[in-house]
Structure 1
Amino acid sequence: MRLIQPDDYIREVLTEAKVIAMVGASDKEDRPSHRVMRYLQSRGYRVIPVNPRIAGKELLGETVYGDIREVEEEVDMVDIFRKSEDVPSVALAAMSHFKTLKSIWMQLGITSFSAAEVARAKGLKVVQDRCPAIEIPRLMD
Structure 2
Amino acid sequence: MNHDSYPDGYLADILRRTKVIALVGASPNPERPSHRVMAFLLRKGYRVIPVNPGQAGKEILGRTVYASLADIPEPVDMVDVFRAPEALPSVVDEVLAMKTRPKAIWGQLSVRHDGAAAKAEAAGIDVVMDRCPAIEYPRLVA
Shorter chain as denominator, the TM-score bin is over 0.9
Distance in 2 of aligned mates of 1:95 and 1:80: 15
Distance in 2 of aligned mates of 1:100 and 1:88: 16
Distance in 2 of aligned mates of 1:7 and 1:98: 30
What residue is the counterpart of 2:112 in the other structure?
111
Unaligned segments of structure 2, at least 5 residues:
none
Paired residue secondary structure (1:79): strand
Paired residue secondary structure (1:123): coil
When normalised by structure 1's length, the TM-score is 0.96
* Contact kept? 1:50, 1:65, Cα under 8 Å: yes
Off by >2 Å, runs of 4+ in structure 1: none
What residue is the counterpart of 2:23 in the other structure?
22
**CA-based RMSD:** 1.1
Distance in 1 of aligned mates of 2:49 and 2:8: 25
Alignment of 1:6-21 (within 5 A): 6-21=7-22
* Contact kept? 1:20, 1:75, Cα under 8 Å: yes
Q: Which amino acid aligns with 1:34?
A: H
Q: Which amino acid aligns with 1:73?
A: E
Q: Which amino acid aligns with 1:72?
A: P
What residue is the counterpart of 2:84 in the other structure?
83
Paired residue secondary structure (2:57): coil
* Contact kept? 2:16, 2:141, Cα under 8 Å: no
Aligned length: 140
- 1:103-130 Cα distance to aligned partner (Å, 9 max, x none): 0000001101111101111111100000
1:95 is displaced (CA, Å) by: 2.0
Unaligned segments of structure 1, at least 5 residues:
none
Distance in 1 of aligned mates of 2:116 and 2:81: 12
What residue is the counterpart of 1:126 in the other structure?
127
What residue is the counterpart of 1:64 in the other structure?
65
